[in-house]
Amino acid sequence: MSMTDDAAMTVDLAGRTYRLIGNDDAVSGAVAAALSANGAQASGSEADILIAATPLLPDSSETGVPLPAVAEIGRSMAAREGGRIVFLLSALGGLPMRRHVDYSAAMAAAVAGMRGLAMALGPHVLVNAVGAGVIEQGGELLAGDRRMLTHASLGRAGTIADITNAVLFLCDPMNTYTTGQLLTVDGGWSVGYGRNF
């Protein structure tokens, strides 16, 4: 892994393919672009990397990941003895927010599904998740709830690059021993929130 001058992570994904299922938004689109920029090729069928994207705004009426589809693709990866699955979801999957009870529950279910798949698909497929906190671009809210910032240790919104860098870390071929984990990219919200009780 190396960092370029613009702080975008680079990894060697040459010869690998990726597929995106679920929610199509600015964040998942940026993840797809980052995978392509690092040498992976988009695939409509079998892929080495699967990105399973959920809606990242808690006011979304659609909150689920098509878990049966993810499991089917994962079994195909396991039969080929290799693959990565990364769920894109909200940090509310790891710590609920009382303003968004139903959404928090749906995200927690996605985390549980991710961990179940990590157990079922090992040892050949690594399954992880990136939990987004407040993510903004040009003042537009792309993930989270701005009220989360009052409890975030860093006191600011994150960027799309913060999410894409986390995904690239989980997809890096050198990262061979991380599975079943929720990598929370929330500026310390899940830590800071707990301190206020």
pTM of the predicted model as reported, rounded to 2 decimal places: 0.93
Query: What confidence category does residue 194 fall into, taking pLDDT thresholds of 50, 70 and 90?
Result: low
Collect all residues with Cβ–Cβ distance below 8 Å to 60 and sequence separation of at least 6: 103
Pairwise CA distance, residues 140 & 36, whole Å? 25
Other CB atoms within 10 A of residue 85 CB: 26
In sequence order, the β-bridge partners of residue 183 are 130
List the CATH number of the domain containing 99: 3.40.50.720
pLDDT at 34 (0 to 100) = 98
Averaged pLDDT score across all residues of the chain: 92
Separation of first and last alpha carbons in the chain: 39
Contact 103, 90 (CB under 8 A): yes
Query: Counting Cβ atoms within 10 Å, is residue 161 exposed (0-12), middle (13-18) or buried (19+)?
Result: middle
Q: How many domains does the chain have?
A: 1
CB 50 within 8 A of CB 86: yes
Would 68 be classed as within a structural domain? yes
Mean pLDDT for the stretch of residues 65-94: 95
**Residues in the chain, total:** 197
pLDDT band, residue 60 (cuts 50/70/90): confident
pLDDT in tens, 115-164: 999 999 999 999 999 999 999 999 999 999 999 999 899 999 999 999 99
Query: From CA 176, how far away is CA 82, in angstroms rounded?
Result: 11
Average pLDDT over every residue of 78-96: 97
CA angle, residues 90, 162, 22, in degrees to nearest 5: 45
Banded pLDDT at 82 (limits 50, 70, 90)? very high
Q: Which domain range does residue 150 map to?
A: 2-178
Q: Looking at the domain assignment, is residue 15 inside a domain? A: yes
d(CA 32, CA 51): 8
| DSSP SS3 for 89 | strand
Of 156 and 66, the structure prediction assigns the larger pLDDT to: 156
Query: Which of 3-7, 130-134, 184-188 is least confident?
Result: 3-7
Q: Is residue 23 part of a domain?
A: yes
Give yes or no for residue 61 having a pLDDT over 80.
no
**189 part of a folded domain:** no
CA distance 73 to 16: 15
What residues form DSSP beta bridges with 87? Answer: 52, 129
**Residue 32 domain flag:** yes
Strands 83-90 and 125-132: parallel
The answer to whether residue 91 sits within a structural domain is yes
**197 band by pLDDT with thresholds 50, 70 and 90:** very low
User: So what's the pLDDT on residue 7?
Assistant: 61
